[in-house]
């Protein structure tokens, strides 16, 4: 019979060959549910696009949870592949669930498999679990290239940034290119927007790091007899704190509104891919630190949060959370690149840490 590590390694390989886009994780979900349905003492609950499994010992014992993500990403050609390691995350949490079989642990243990992490859409559906069940703590992790294999990466407060996409749409009036004064070309306020947008991210106005990254800008078309009547700017906003992200967005919207009024064009906006900051609860973070010591694992405390975002941040409003990174190699290829590969050193560390958390 395979132990937890062997099960996780086997599952990761199987899931790696079944990459699915966010919100379309049917095959991945089916494989995981089939595997977990065969585990003694585990109840598997199908919630549609996502599911969870629970090792339940009663209403008077504490409860702890572990979360994994089922979706994959697209490469530059639109092909879906596991370039972020969610196949490995699912394999670890599923093997951990199987490890609880026929054990008396003195607690209820929940294993959450969410959909659509990459778009920031999945966790808000899964959050209902923490409203229905009295879960005391939720743990999550991410494999992290650029750090020593198996080393746990700790941040006592914010772990991963809040972020969102912001679309600004400027609507003027199209005209003949020979008579531009008969129209109202939005390219002028759009161009001016970028003369000040960096000033609006000045660090002195915020509690921590903020970033506004231009993603795209378009207006008009390749029709040289027509002056543009509408245009669009796309930005990604990012910050260490949720409050700073709200403040940054409002500053950018206020400036865009001023320009729109100055140039007599209409402005509308839309947000996309909303991620909340992932923030560790002090009590649960200390619990994780204690488990690291008991398990004899190596950990380092980082000085700044990861700039990437994770849908795990939405759970922070519903349950006490702790989220960690686990190094997958200092020379490992970065996440979201074609060369990225899962490292089973992460599997070993994650299993040992989470088993220790469950047992203590």
pLDDT values of the chain reduced to their tens digit, one per residue, 360 residues:
579 999 999 999 999 999 999 999 999 999 999 999 989 999 999 999 999 999 999 999 999 999 999 999 999 999 999 999 999 999 999 999 999 999 999 999 999 999 999 999 999 999 989 888 999 999 999 999 999 999 999 999 999 999 999 999 999 999 999 999 999 999 999 999 998 888 899 989 999 999 999 999 999 999 999 999 999 999 999 999 999 999 999 999 999 999 999 999 999 999 999 999 999 999 999 999 999 999 999 999 999 999 999 999 999 999 999 999 999 999 999 999 999 999 999 999 999 999 999 999
Report pTM. 0.94
Q: What is the dihedral of CA 261, 262, 263, 265, to 10 degrees?
A: 0
Neighbours of 101 (CB within 10 A): 12
Q: How far apart are CA 16 and CA 87, in angstroms?
A: 6
Neighbours of 123 (CB within 10 A): 26
In the chain the domains, ranked by start, together with CATH numbers, are: 4-160+277-359 (3.40.630.10), 162-275 (3.30.70.360)
Which string of DSSP letters, residue by residue, matches 145-210? TTS-TT-EEE-SSEEE-EEEEEEEEEE-B-EETT-GGGSB-THHHHHHHTTTTTGGG-GGGSSS-E
């Amino acid at each position: 019979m395979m132990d937890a590590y062997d099960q996780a390694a086997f599952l990761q390989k199987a899931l790696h060959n079944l990459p699915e886009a966010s919100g379309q994780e049917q095959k991945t979900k089916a494989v995981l549910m089939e595997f977990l349905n065969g585990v003694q003492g585990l109840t598997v609950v199908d919630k549609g696009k996502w599911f969870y499994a629970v090792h339940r010992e009663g209403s008077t014992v504490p409860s702890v949870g572990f979360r994994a993500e089922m979706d994959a990403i697209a490469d530059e050609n639109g092909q879906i592949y596991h370039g972020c390691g969610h196949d490995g995350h699912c394999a670890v949490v599923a093997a951990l669930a199987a490890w609880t079989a026929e054990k008396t642990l003195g607690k209820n243990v929940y294993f959450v498999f969410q959909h659509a992490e990459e778009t920031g859409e999945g966790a808000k559906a899964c959050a209902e679990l923490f409203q229905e069940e009295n879960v005391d703590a939720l743990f999550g992790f991410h494999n992290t290239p650029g750090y020593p294999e198996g080393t746990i990466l700790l941040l006592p407060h914010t772990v991963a940034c809040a972020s969102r996409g912001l679309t600004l749409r400027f609507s003027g009036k199209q005209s003949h290119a020979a008579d531009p004064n008969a129209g109202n070309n939005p390219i002028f306020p759009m161009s001016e927007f970028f003369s000040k947008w960096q000033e609006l991210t000045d660090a002195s106005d915020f509690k921590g790091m903020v970033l506004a990254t231009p993603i795209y800008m378009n207006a008009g078309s390749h029709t040289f007899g027509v002056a543009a009547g509408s245009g669009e700017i796309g930005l990604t906003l990012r910050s260490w704190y949720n409050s700073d992200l709200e403040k940054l967005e409002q500053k950018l919207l206020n400036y865009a509104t001023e320009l729109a009024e100055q140039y007599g064009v209409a402005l509308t906006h839309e947000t996309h891919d909303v991620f909340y900051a992932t923030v560790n609860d002090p009590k649960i973070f200390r619990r994780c630190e204690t488990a690291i010591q008991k398990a004899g694992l190596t950990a380092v405390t980082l000085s700044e949060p990861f700039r990437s975002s994770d849908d795990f941040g939405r759970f922070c409003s519903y349950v006490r959370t702790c989220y960690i990174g686990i190094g997958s190699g200092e020379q490992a290829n970065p996440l979201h690149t074609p060369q990225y590969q899962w490292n089973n050193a992460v599997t070993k560390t994650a299993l040992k840490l989470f088993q220790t958390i469950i047992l203590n």
